[in-house]
Amino acid sequence: MKADKMIISGSFEGNADCNTVEILAGGRYIGKVLAKQLVIEQSGYFEGESKTKKDSTPQTSVVTNAKQAKIVK
């Protein structure tokens, strides 16, 4: 899905290419994200891979849940 801003309050499974992805409390996202900003509210759930949009080479974040993140360069 391509959009300027994606807000998830329910469940979404798939890939997103957005400037901002926001997962609200109770929201659930499973998939890959390419975004300038990824926001996960408390009780929001993210499982997958995220890459940050930048002018240079993107960083990859491997996230197993909203409480853990490992940056891989």
Whether the model clears a pTM of 0.85, i.e. scores above it, the answer is no
Q: Which domain holds residue 58?
A: 2-72
Domain count across the chain: 1
Give the type of residue at 24.
L
CA end-to-end distance (rounded Å), the chain: 25
The pLDDT profile of the chain, 73 residues, written as one tens digit per residue, is: 899 999 999 999 999 999 999 999 999 999 999 999 999 999 999 999 999 998 554 455 455 554 444 444 4
17-55 per-residue burial string, b: 16 or more CB within 10 A, e: under 16: ebeebbbbeebbbeeebbbeebebeeebbbebebbbeee
